[in-house]
């Protein structure tokens, strides 16, 4: 068999096995990932049951593409705004998990006698819980409205980002084989620089292109463009020395901020599922029973460490974040399993040659055990929380659980303004600094050679001067944005100045620091072409004067750039705000509290159809308020208690997570179960005989419709009469087609 046909045969076996075992997993109410891994194990060359797949090399190539699509899809779901909105609680929880599990993993690796690099990779892969498994389990168990669910999902978002960073750092360590702190810091700085630069350029350019081509973008074209952009960023990331997975993740997160993000995510779902299946099946194919049998003790130890460690550090992190005992315990029991990033990090270690071959199947076996136990661990959260609440002393419970009340509101408001100012200040400095560094690098890499080719007749100092002036000309708008304009800083600064006059001194200090940073960039531009002598100070002063002189024009250009960038950055939220103004307004104003909205469609068989909101049990039993009713194209804002409810109405309720869960349960409990067996429908064909019941009768006389059937066609003297009239008289030899309830049709044909 040729190589191409052999690849097709392998894919056929992989996908058929994946389909069969995912059906079995669904029937047993287990995660689909488990079915994929078992399918891979069954068809693997290690087991030898199916001879089609003799090696995993070709499947490994497909799995690498699968990783790209998985990370691209994850980026589409990720969105950097989600990271900004998850809050400090999710950040504290995720960082606690990662630091704790990384340390435990390194200690365990050293205890097993593994190398330092293997221990580092073990610590990294033990730090990641499964986003896929948790979301699926919460869907199946109806836990997405629970008070602890937002913290779980926020923690998973932060973990995903940490996993991407870990992949870059671990791969850098694996290649350099050095554990220098300076080298690690340089790798982190380089990663941060490229991430910010790609995000800024991508979010400025890509939405403009998509908007210009909007009228030509059907689903097919949009999907092709999205995948092309994904692979383009993969190539760029690889060329910059990063992993392909990082490039896919970055492009996904850029597209997630565009108005087409949700549509792209929907279009990509089928491709993501296909290649994701291939990836997870290939993971299962790496399971070697002989290796697991040989290292079964390590598998069990790592499974206990993973589940126990993740439970402990997740609970601890949530408690440190002030989430209370009940929420923290539920978060801990939820996060106690290894996820898809564990496979990817383990695969990375093997591909880089820094992990021995037996470790990969061991990690997969550990992940299978923890994935299988995940639903039971999540269910165990309730009894564990109740048991701890009963056993812990009251004074400890009082310290653990958050106390109501707020003191020092004035100082807290000022503190919030300072926090907002510092955040806006740091964001402006970092973003503009990244752009200016990129301009300096591009200038040094491109301009000298270009000037030499285009201006060979000029002297070298003159060419350098032209390059410097061009560089400063490009830098001026961004220097002005860094040093002069304030953006959202001004809003916070004005409030702080009103609050306290002494605040002007630290605010002034921050302004001076921005100006000094801008001067530093000017010096960097000058020294990249000339050595600063006695005239160096004059050159810097001249550049500063130039900045002030062209400041107004630069401000106009800069404000246009900033405005366009912010429009692109907020485009998706603006679209959602227009589509769902009530939900968006509540989310924006109550984002720090457990107040949410839920839209529920009124079922056709709802017991209170036709009754008014006042007669409904919603408010009394659940405590929610109905703030909007969507009825076809009509929207009823803040409906009165006398507003009746009809089938198909969309009720927008507002309340806490617990109240919304109760509201949805009330809807389900008051929906009538109508399971009447509908009569069988059939189309019958028969030729009328002299003794047939219908022979000689008019259609009108038979009252077929009253009996649940009708004549749809008659063949008379070789001609077809479709839908004959009521006065047609049946004749011997007519071929008739009768449709309707099967028993009635048989009765009229005399076959019953």
pLDDT digits (tens, 9 = 90+) for 65-116: 777 887 788 778 766 666 666 567 788 888 899 889 889 988 988 888 888 8
Span 473-478, mean pLDDT?
A: 80
> Quick check: do 74-276+288-384 and 581-669 share a fold?
no
pLDDT at 141 exceeding the cut of 50: yes
Span 128-154, mean pLDDT?
A: 75
Confidence at residue 398, expressed as pLDDT on a 0 to 100 scale = 77
The pair of structure tokens assigned to 326 is: 């009940």
Confidence at residue 219, expressed as pLDDT on a 0 to 100 scale = 83
Distance CA 108, CA 256 (A): 38
Output the CA–CA distances (angstroms, integers) from residue 29 to 37, 369, 421, in the order listed: 15, 15, 50
Place of tokens 């809050």: 87
Distance CA 120, CA 359 (A): 13
Confidence at residue 405, expressed as pLDDT on a 0 to 100 scale = 47
Output the CA–CA distances (angstroms, integers) from residue 241 to 176, 245, 246, 252, 432, in the order listed: 12, 12, 10, 19, 24
Q: What is the pLDDT of residues 553-575, one digit of tens each?
A: 555 555 556 666 666 666 666 66
Span 207-215, mean pLDDT?
A: 81
Confidence at residue 86, expressed as pLDDT on a 0 to 100 scale = 57
Confidence at residue 21, expressed as pLDDT on a 0 to 100 scale = 87
Confidence at residue 153, expressed as pLDDT on a 0 to 100 scale = 78
**pTM for the complete prediction?**
0.68
Residue 727 makes CB contacts below 8 A (sequence gap 6+) with 698, 699, 700
Confidence of residue 407 (pLDDT cuts 50, 70, 90): very low
Instruction: Please give the share of the chain, as a percent, with pLDDT higher than 70.
Output: 78
∠ CA 444-449-452, rounded to 5°: 130
pLDDT at 302 exceeding the cut of 50: yes
Span 471-499, mean pLDDT?
A: 73
Tell which phi-psi region holds residue 218, choosing left (phi > 0), alpha (psi between -120 and 50) or beta: beta
Q: Are the C-beta atoms of 411 and 367 separated by less than 8 Å?
A: no
Residue spans per domain, the chain: 74-276+288-384, 414-568, 581-669, 681-749
Span 320-331, mean pLDDT?
A: 84
Q: Are strands 625-631 and 735-741 parallel, antiparallel or unpaired?
A: unpaired
Q: Are the C-beta atoms of 72 and 252 separated by less than 8 Å?
A: yes
Choose between 194 and 97: higher pLDDT. Answer: 97
Sheet holding 596-601, edge to edge: 596-601, 650-655, 625-631, 634-637
pLDDT at 552 exceeding the cut of 80: no
Distance CA 540, CA 544 (A): 6
Confidence of residue 394 (pLDDT cuts 50, 70, 90): confident
Confidence at residue 283, expressed as pLDDT on a 0 to 100 scale = 75
Pick the CATH number of 581-669 from 3.30.70.1450, 3.40.50.720, 3.30.420.40, 3.40.640.10: 3.30.70.1450
Per-chain mean pLDDT for the chain: 78
Confidence at residue 496, expressed as pLDDT on a 0 to 100 scale = 67
pLDDT at 670 exceeding the cut of 50: yes
Tell which phi-psi region holds residue 113, choosing left (phi > 0), alpha (psi between -120 and 50) or beta: left
Nearest 10 degrees: CA dihedral of 388, 390, 394, 398? 50
Confidence of residue 409 (pLDDT cuts 50, 70, 90): very low
Choose between 60 and 336: higher pLDDT. Answer: 336
Architecture of domain 681-749: 2-Layer Sandwich (3.30)
CB atoms under 10 Å from CB of 155, counted, come to: 29
Confidence at residue 325, expressed as pLDDT on a 0 to 100 scale = 83
Choose between 587 and 495: higher pLDDT. Answer: 495
Distance CA 37, CA 391 (A): 40
Confidence of residue 654 (pLDDT cuts 50, 70, 90): confident
Span 696-720, mean pLDDT?
A: 86
Q: What is the pLDDT of residues 597-624, one digit of tens each?
A: 778 888 888 888 888 888 888 777 777 8
Choose between 308 and 569: higher pLDDT. Answer: 308
Q: Judging by beta carbons within 10 Å of its beta carbon (0-12, 13-18, 19+), is residue 288 exposed, middle or buried?
A: buried
Least confident residue range of 451-455, 548-552, 727-731: 548-552
Least confident residue range of 81-95, 267-281, 693-707: 81-95
Least confident residue range of 8-22, 561-575, 702-716: 561-575
Q: What is the pLDDT of residues 358-382, one digit of tens each?
A: 888 888 888 878 877 887 888 888 8
Distance of CA 634 to the CA centre of its chain: 32
Confidence at residue 60, expressed as pLDDT on a 0 to 100 scale = 66
Instruction: Please give the share of the chain, as a percent, with pLDDT higher than 90.
Output: 1
Choose between 31 and 201: higher pLDDT. Answer: 201
Choose between 493 and 473: higher pLDDT. Answer: 473
Which CATH fold topology does 74-276+288-384 show? Na+/H+ antiporter like fold (1.20.1530)
Sheet holding 719-722, edge to edge: 681-687, 735-741, 709-716, 719-722
∠ CA 637-640-642, rounded to 5°: 135
Q: Are strands 650-655 and 634-637 parallel, antiparallel or unpaired?
A: unpaired
Confidence at residue 445, expressed as pLDDT on a 0 to 100 scale = 84
């Amino acid at each position: 068999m040729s190589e191409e046909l052999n690849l097709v045969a392998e894919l056929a076996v992989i996908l058929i096995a994946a389909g069969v075992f995912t059906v079995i997993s669904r029937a047993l109410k287990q995660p689909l990932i488990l079915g994929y891994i078992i399918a891979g194990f069954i068809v693997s060359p290690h087991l030898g049951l199916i001879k089609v797949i003799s090696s995993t090399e070709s499947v490994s190539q497909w799995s690498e593409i699968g990783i790209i699509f998985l990370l691209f899809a994850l980026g589409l779901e990720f969105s950097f705004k989600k990271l900004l909105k998850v809050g400090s609680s999710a950040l504290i929880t995720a960082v606690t998990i990662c630091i704790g599990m990384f340390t435990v993993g390194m200690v365990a690796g050293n205890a097993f006698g593994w190398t330092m690099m293997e221990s580092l990779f073990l610590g990294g892969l033990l730090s990641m819980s499964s986003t896929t498994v948790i979301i699926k389990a919460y869907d199946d168990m109806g836990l997405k409205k629970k008070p602890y669910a937002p913290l779980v999902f926020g923690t998973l978002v932060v973990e995903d980002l940490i996993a991407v960073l870990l992949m870059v750092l671990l791969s850098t360590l694996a290649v350099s084989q050095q554990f220098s702190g300076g080298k690690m810091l340089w790798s982190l700085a380089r990663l941060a620089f490229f991430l910010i630069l790609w995000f800024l350029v991508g979010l400025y350019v890509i939405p403009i292109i998509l908007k210009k081509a909007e009228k030509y973008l059907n689903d097919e074209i949009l999907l092709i463009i999205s995948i092309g952009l994904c692979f383009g960023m993969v190539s760029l990331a690889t060329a910059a020395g990063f992993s392909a997975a990082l490039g896919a993740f970055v492009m996904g997160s850029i597209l997630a901020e565009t108005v087409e993000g949700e549509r792209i995510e929907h279009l990509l779902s089928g491709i993501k599922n296909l290649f994701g299946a291939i990836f997870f099946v290939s993971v299962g194919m790496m399971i070697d029973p002989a290796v697991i049998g040989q290292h079964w003790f390590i598998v069990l130890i790592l499974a206990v460490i993973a589940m126990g460690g993740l439970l402990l550090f997740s609970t601890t992190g949530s408690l440190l974040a002030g989430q209370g005992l009940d929420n923290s315990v539920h978060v801990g029991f939820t996060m106690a399993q290894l996820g898809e990033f564990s496979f990817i990090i383990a695969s990375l270690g093997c591909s880089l040659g820094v992990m021995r071959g037996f470790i990969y199947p061991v990690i997969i076996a550990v992940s299978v055990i923890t994935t299988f136990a995940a639903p039971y661990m999540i269910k165990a959260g309730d009894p564990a929380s109740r048991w701890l609440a009963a056993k812990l002393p009251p004074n400890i419970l009082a310290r653990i659980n958050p106390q109501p009340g707020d003191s020092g509101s004035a100082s807290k408001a000022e503190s919030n303004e300072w926090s907002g100012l510092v955040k806006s200040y740091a964001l402006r400095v970092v973003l503009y600094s990244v752009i200016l560094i990129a301009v300096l690098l591009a200038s040094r890499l491109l301009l000298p050679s270009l000037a030499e080719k285009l201006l060979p007749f000029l002297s070298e100092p003159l060419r350098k001067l032209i390059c410097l002036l061009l560089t400063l000309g490009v830098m001026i708008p961004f220097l002005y944005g860094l040093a002069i304009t304030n953006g959202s800083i001004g809003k916070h600064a004005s409030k702080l100045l009103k609050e306290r006059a002494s605040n002007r001194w630290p605010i002034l200090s921050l302004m001076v620091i921005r100006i000094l940073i801008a001067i530093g960039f000017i010096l960097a531009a000058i020294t990249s072409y000339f050595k600063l002598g006695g005239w160096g100070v004059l050159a810097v002063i001249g550049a500063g004067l130039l900045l002030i002189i062209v400041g107004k024009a630069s401000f106009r250009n800069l404000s246009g750039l900033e405005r366009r960038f912010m429009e692109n950055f907020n485009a998706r939220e603006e679209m959602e705000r227009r589509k769902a103004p009530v939900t968006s307004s509540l989310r924006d104003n109550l984002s720090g509290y457990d107040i949410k909205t839920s839209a529920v469609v009124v079922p056709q068989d709802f017991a209170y159809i036709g009754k008014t909101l006042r007669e409904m049990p919603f408010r009394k039993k659940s405590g929610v308020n109905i703030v909007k009713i969507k009825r076809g194209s009509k929207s009823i804002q803040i409906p009165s208690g006398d507003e009746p409810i009809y089938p198909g109405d969309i009720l927008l309720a507002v309340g806490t997570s617990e109240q919304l869960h109760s509201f949805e349960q009330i809807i389900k409990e008051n929906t009538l179960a109508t399971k009447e067996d509908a009569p069988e429908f059939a189309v019958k064909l028969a030729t009328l005989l002299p003794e047939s019941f219908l022979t000689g009768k008019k259609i009108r006389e038979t009252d077929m419709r009253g009996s649940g059937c009708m004549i749809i066609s008659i063949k008379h003297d070789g001609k077809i009469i479709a839908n004959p009239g009521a006065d047609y008289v049946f004749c011997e030899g007519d071929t008739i087609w009768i449709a309707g309830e099967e028993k009635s049709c048989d009765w009229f044909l005399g076959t019953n």
